[in-house]
Structure 1
Amino acid sequence: MLTYLADLLTPIWGPARLLSSFVILATVGSLVSALATLFLLPKLWDRLPRDRGRAHAVGAADSVGKPVGVGLIMILILLAVVALFSPIDPHIYFAMGAVLLASGVGFIDDRTGGLSELTLGLTDLLVALFVCVVLLWGQDTRLWLPFAPMVFDIPFWLGLLIYTPVVWLCINAVNCNDGVDGVSGSLSAVTIAALGFILYMVVGDAGNAKYLLIPFREDAANWAIVAAIFCGVIVGYLWHNAPPSAALMGDAGSRPIGLFVGICIVVSGNPAMIFFVAPLMLFNGATGLAKVALIRVFGLRILSSIRFPFHDHARKNLNWSNSQVLLRFLLIHLASLWFLVIILLKVR
């Protein structure tokens, strides 16, 4: 909306051109979303259901009675700020609708005490397919891979086959990271910030993209603004989720966050990006999914001495406190992401 106002007002009042600056929109948008989340959550979370605890989760009793599902409020704030600060783009609006749907399904799961794994898995798959259709339809589907200078032009249907499982993985990996105060939100904020930087400075910049042998995508910078706003929302939530937490985002927050990570990866044009921007999140969350899948499908047991999500192993077997898990995971995440992203972009 502000970019539209900038076009109208700039001929009349020169400084209005700042409203079309992507840096200004991202900076102010993230600040507004952070402050809105910070101040609105405590006023609204008394209307939300209370956490009942989770079976087999370490320290689950500590969360019982806290407001859960505040992720739905976070997403509503996100949508309002995105509508105000992002450029007018139907792809963003449709994708944000999918983010709201993912949050709604997560909220139902939080409120009812748990939907079936099949219901959640199929819903995640349909949402992932929908956002891939939205993002790839009518676009030049150009794919690049790590450590290779080639760019591949792939058909629409192949793009769907490649990216839909990636988005599904992102949704569930981020969801599995939610279990220790501050961990999922902190790791997700860092990952989304890194993706926003890549979309703005690399994929969305024609000169840098050409230099780094990466396909340029014109609307990538639009998504960088949304990423900045989403980071602001998460930061506002983390103020209340720092150990010991006052409220929990639940599936209503973790699922749409994972979905947005997947959206950014689709826009980046590199399906392997998830391994470079979220290695610890995959190890902590997705490894448990792989263990369960191998047991149920092939009867194969691997890493049987390690609990997953790994944050449960760290607390139960390594005797780490919640604060130690948060800080150590965050340090590992920052160090590994920084190193891997530089390799991804420079080793072409």
Structure 2
Amino acid sequence: MLYNWLYPLHTEFSFLNVFRYQSFRIIYAAVTAFLIAFVLAPWVIRKLQEIKLGQQIRDDGPKRHLAKSGTPTMGGILIIFAVILSTLLWADISRPYVWLVLAATLGFGAIGFADDYLKFIKAQSKGLSAAQKFIAQIAVALGIALVLYFLPGYSTKLSVPFFKNFMPDLGWFYIVFAVLVIVGSSNAVNLTDGLDGLAIGPVMIAALAYTVVAYVSGHRLMSEYLLIPHIDGAGELAVFTAAILGSSLGFLWFNTYPASVFMGDVGSLPLGAALGTVAVISKHELLLLMVGGVFVIEAVSVIFQVASFKSRGKRIFLMAPIHHHFEMKGWEEPKVVVRLWIIAILLALLSLSTLKLR
């Protein structure tokens, strides 16, 4: 918005020419989102406490978690607000991709809000049913996928890491594929959100990685040099992912162990969907498996645990998702969180290396 308002005036005021540079707007999108989240967090936490919006802790998990009962939840509202406001301020809002990622964030945020609202305000312990949540997620993701499919000039070819000439065209099946990426990413982040700071750390790391990916994908010379698909306008997505990074940093200040607030589904579902949507638009969908490797591990641990118990009557892990397995083995919560962060950083670095290794 600032770009659209102020940059046209650069011929009269030369200092406004700085808005032309995406790198400038990327940095300040992150800073702005951080300040919004950091400054508003104490007020939001107080309001959540006033309406007694406290987290209910499951009693079949690690007993030390029972002390967290009553910790304010639905703090993800703050993250989403900071991301959207910062993006609107610093991105070129004439680009359709900006509105698509914002739509994904708001759409999945609404699903998460409805789920949290029913659980914590209406005291319906399970919130939305699994079927209701899944159908709503598919509906939002399908809308985004259809817009992309019919967007002039958008390619349905799939970019495969490490291969520069192998780009299969999925045709109409790309719609189904995009839905799977967005919905899968959303639920994977949601499953990871079980320890103080655990989900928000890898979200920040993935957002930073995709800031680089989106920037080079939208830069014609860089994308040609790296032999990756050039997506006109995708560079503005880097402003959006930078806003995710900044708002997550601000939230982490209060979510780090011992957490003063939890993000809830209203935070984890839209953050995962946002990353999935950015991955789809930037044509680096498969890279998300590596960038978000921690989320994949968490989701797969749940799938294996359920499949094993239903087929054999035995569990693979002491408890799923896998972060609870390590806790049940005696690891302290901060150790589990930091070690998974380390894994997320290494995976992100390896992911970025694939931009050159083709």
Return the TM-score normalized by structure 1.
0.92
Which amino acid counterpart does residue 324 of structure 1 have in structure 2? K
Contact kept, 8 Å, 2:10 with 2:17, in 1: the verdict is: yes
Change (3 A) 1:105 1:161: closer
Compare 184-193 and 4-13 and name the one that shifted more. 4-13
Q: How many angstroms does 1:156 deviate by?
A: 5.2
Q: 1:122 aligns with which of 122, 127, 135?
A: 135
The Cα of 1:248 is off from its aligned counterpart by 0.6
Specify the alignment match of 1:52 in structure 2.
Answer: 56
Task: Tell me the distance in 2 between the aligned counterparts of 1:246 and 1:257.
Answer: 20
Q: Secondary structure in 2 aligned to 1:123?
A: helix
Measured after TM superposition, the shift of residue 52 of structure 1 is 1.7
Any unmatched runs of 5+ in structure 1? none
Q: What is aligned with 1:108?
A: 114
Q: Is the 8 A contact 2:276 2:285 kept in 1?
A: no
Say whether 1:329 aligns with 2:340: yes
How far off its partner does 1:301 sit? 6.8
Deviations 1:228-254 (A, max 9, x none): 011111110000001001001111100
Q: Deviations over 1:72-110 (max 9, x none)?
A: 222122211111111022332243133112112212222
Distance 1:151 1:206 in 2: 20
Q: Is contact 2:34–2:246 with CA below 8 Å preserved after alignment?
A: yes
Distance apart, 1:293 and its partner CA: 5.5
Kindly provide the amino acid, as one letter, of the partner of residue 90 in structure 2. Answer: F
- Once the two structures are overlaid, the 10-residue window that deviates more, 259-268 or 233-242, is 259-268
Deviations 1:281-333 (A, max 9, x none): 2102343135435766xx3678624532111011111x111111121111122
The 3 A distance-change label for structure 1 pair 156 and 248 is: same
Provide the aligned length of Structure 1 versus Structure 2.
343
Query: Would the alpha carbon gap of residues 143 and 249 (structure 1) be closer, same or farther in structure 2, given more than 3 Å must change?
Result: same
Question: Aligned pair 1:74/2:79, yes or no?
Answer: yes
Question: Aligned equivalents of 1:21 and 1:54: distance in 2?
Answer: 48
Cα 1:269–1:151 change in 2 (3 A) is: farther
Q: Distance in 1 between matches of 2:87 and 2:40?
A: 17
Distance (whole Å) between structure 2 residues aligned to residue 25 and residue 70 of structure 1:
26
Per the alignment, in what secondary structure is the counterpart of residue 167 of structure 2? strand
RMSD: 2.1
**CA–CA separation in structure 1 for the residues paired with 2:132 and 2:21:** 42
Higher mean C-alpha displacement, 52-61 vs 72-81: 52-61
CA change 1:116–1:19 in 2 (3 A) is same
Letter in 2 for 1:33: A
Between the aligned partners of 1:310 and 1:23, the Cα distance in structure 2 is 38
Structure 2: how far apart are the matches of 1:214 and 1:98?
Answer: 25
| Residue ranges of structure 2 left out of the alignment (5+ in a row) | 120-126
Answer yes or no: is the 8 Å Cα contact 2:181–2:276 preserved in 1.
Answer: yes
Residue of structure 2 aligned with 1:92, choices 87, 90, 98: 98
SS at match of 1:233: helix
Aligned to 2:321: 309
Equivalent residue letter for 1:166: V
CA distance in 1, matches of 2:101, 2:279: 13
- Aligned to 1:144, the other structure's residue is in SS state coil
Cα distance 1:265–1:302, how it changes in 2: closer, same or farther (>3 A)?
farther
* Aligned partner (choices 252, 260, 264) of residue 250 of structure 1: 264
Deviation at 1:152, TM superposition (A): 3.4
Code of the residue aligned with 1:271 in structure 2: it is: E
Match of residue 148, structure 1, among 159, 163, 170: 163
In structure 2, which of residues 218, 231, 234 is the aligned counterpart of residue 204 of structure 1? 218
Structure 2 vs 1, CA of residues 300 and 85 (structure 1 numbering), >3 Å: closer, same or farther?
farther
Percent identical pairs in the alignment equals 24
Q: Could you say if the C-alpha distance between residues 314 and 153 of structure 1 is closer, same or farther in structure 2, counting changes exceeding 3 Å?
A: closer
The structural deviation recorded for 1:43 is 0.7
Q: Give 1:236-275 correspondences, 5 Å limit.
A: 236-275=250-289
Does the Cα contact within 8 Å between 1:151 and 1:215 map onto a contact in 2?
Answer: no
1:142–1:8 CA distance, 2 compared to 1 (3 A): same
The one-character-per-residue Cα deviations of 1:205-242 (angstroms, maximum 9, x if unpaired) are 22222222211111111101100011111110000001
How far apart, in 1, do the equivalents of 2:282 and 2:308 lie?
30
Q: Which residue of 2 aligns with 1:131?
A: 144
Contact 2:141 2:183 in 1 (8 A): yes
Aligned mates of 2:325, 2:144 — CA distance in 1: 34
User: What is aligned with 2:249?
Assistant: 235
Segment of structure 1 superposing worse, 32-41 or 151-160? 151-160
| Deviating more after overlay: 258-267 vs 327-336 | 327-336
> In structure 2, what is the Cα distance between the partners aligned to 1:260 and 1:335?
22
Residue 173 of structure 2: aligned partner: 158
Whole-Å separation in 1 of the counterparts to 2:261 and 2:228: 41
Q: 1:207–1:331: structure 2 CA closer, same or farther, 3 Å change rule?
A: same
2:66 to 56, 61, 68: 61
* Partner SS for 1:325: helix
Matching residue's letter, 2:200: G
In structure 1, the residue matched to 2:17 is: 17
Judge conservation of contact 1:95–1:134 (CA < 8 Å) in 2.
no
